Amino acid sequence: MLTTVVGNYPKVAEGLYSTIGPIAKWERQELTDAQLEEAFREVTRQVIREQEQAGVDLVTDGQIRWDDLVRPLARGVTGFEVNGLSRWFNNNIYYRRPILHKAPARRKPILVEDYRFAAGAATRPVKAVLPGPYTFAVLSEDRHFKRLRPFALALAELLNAEARDLERAGAAFIQFDEPAIGCGKTDVKLAVEALNVALGGLKGTTAVVAYFGALDGALAALMKSKADVVGVDVVSDPKNLAALRRAKVTKALALGCVDARNTKLESVTELHARFKAVRNLVPADRLYVSPNCGLEFLPHTQAQAKLTRLVEAVRTYRTGGR
């Protein structure tokens, strides 16, 4: 039973570190690109250290440079332009909607350099995280293909190329985030088809993670995808637990069981109950536990407290907490 995080981490810890000042200064041209990069690296070092100190087994770089899940890729792929603000699923948080004007092309690796830096700064394995092709397509406006399927499949090809490059750079665990699955009407068949394209030829451990949504109706198909691990948010919609039981867990499960959208700190007992709920569905050696989504919705103090609590719950569960 391993602990992990979904992806992003607060970029601001008041009194400790922050990207607010460096970005504002860079926008006013008071910092050079290189100076901003150094600021990002420093915050990345800190958030990796924090995850390690909390005891998280599989960490991420915290996506410190990322404005949102799709922005870095949209910026790195020609054919996209980034547009106005749209709501980030059912949160009071906003992202900039990419618009595709012409056939998308990836000229060079987008996240590989950042990955190398993070891996070098960490003493534990660093998971590489990418937006899933279906979510990327649904969150964008497509003025080129004008049909979801070819658009999602084209993005899947690009993401696959990026994932292969990340693997070559040493990423042994690659995750695709698919929050669009289960949020609103979902073409599950297309989502899985595109996901399988994105996962093609990868040799390491691969994961698909869905959060915010209701996954009944999607889980059975996800269990048949090429991913090794399926991540399920059982906090946003508790009915997802029953859906898991119905779908049969045939892969490793990443249980999103800590609420990363509310500051209320879970007790160890509550977390043990959530672990127990999947005890009969998947053996412990195929179970990851994590927050239900990225930690960035939380203020820094609460994000850190929740990770520490999760690790504590796993530790006491292993040592006879059952």
Partner 1 sequence: MLLTTSVGSLPKPEYLTAARSKARKGEIDRAELRRLEEQATREWIAIQEELGIDIVVDGEQYRGDMVAYFAEHFGGFKESELVRSYGNRYYRKPIIVGKVTRRRPVTVAWWRFAQSLTTRPVKGMLTGPYTIMDWSFNEHYPSRRAATLAIAELVREEAKDLERAGAQYLQIDEPAISTRPEEMELAIEALGRVTKGLKAKTLTHICYGDFDTIGPKLHRLPVDQVDLEFANRNFELLEFFRGRRFPKEIGLGVVDVHSHRIESVDEVIANLHKALKVFKPEQVYVDPDCGLKTRTPQEATEKLRVVVQAAREVREQLLNGRPRRRASVATSARRPYS
**For partner 1, what does the binding mask look like between residues 68 and 97, x meaning CB under 8 A?**
x----------------x-xx-xxxxxxx-
By CB under 8 A, residue 113 contacts partner 1 = no
Our CB check for partner 1 shows the closer of 87 and 246 to be 87
Residue 233, SS3?
strand
Other CB atoms within 10 Å distance of the CB of residue 226: 16
Tell whether residue 297 is a contact of partner 1 (CB under 8 A).
Answer: yes
- Site membership for partner 1, residue 190 (CB under 8 A): no
If the CB atoms of residues 11 and 274 are measured against partner 1, the closer one turns out to be: 11
| Contact flags string 3-42 toward partner 1, x per CB under 8 A | -------xxx-x----xx--xx--x---------------
Token pair 């004008």 in the structure block, residue? 146
Work out whether 300 is an interface residue with partner 1 (CB under 8 A).
yes
Burial of 269 (0-12, 13-18, 19+ CB in 10 A): exposed
d(CA 242, CA 56): 27
Give the shortest CB-263-to-partner 1 separation in angstroms: 4
Q: Is 115 in the site for partner 1 (CB under 8 A)?
A: no
Which pair of tokens denotes residue 138? Answer: 């649904």
105 binds partner 1 (CB under 8 A): no
Give CA torsion, residues 155, 157, 158, 163, to 10 deg: 120
Closer to partner 1 by CB, 187 or 228: give it.
187
Q: Does the footprint of partner 1 cover residue 306 (CB under 8 A)?
A: no
Q: Burial letters for 37-46: b for 16+ Cβ neighbours within 10 Å, e otherwise?
A: bebbbebbbb
Q: Which of 299, 305, 315, 316 binds partner 1 (CB under 8 A)?
A: 299
Comparison of 136 and 317: residue with beta carbon closer to partner 1 = 136
Question: For partner 1, which is the closer residue by CB, 139 or 195?
Answer: 139
**Alpha helix ranges (H) inside the chain:** 20-27, 33-54, 71-76, 112-121, 133-138, 148-168, 188-199, 219-223, 239-247, 268-277, 300-316
Determine, following the binding rule CB under 8 A, whether residue 107 of this chain makes contact with partner 1.
no
The amino acid occupying position 117 is F
Q: List residues bridging with 170 in a β-sheet.
A: none
Instruction: Give the shortest CB-117-to-partner 1 separation in angstroms.
Output: 21
Q: What is the DSSP string of 162-178?
A: HHHHHHHTT-SEEEEE-
The verdict on 319 binding partner 1 (CB under 8 A) reads no
Q: How many helices (H) and strands (E) does the chain have?
A: 11, 12
Site membership for partner 1, residue 193 (CB under 8 A): no
Residues of this chain that interact with partner 1 (CB under 8 A) are 10-12, 14, 19-20, 23-24, 27, 67-68, 85, 87-88, 90-96, 262-264, 296-302
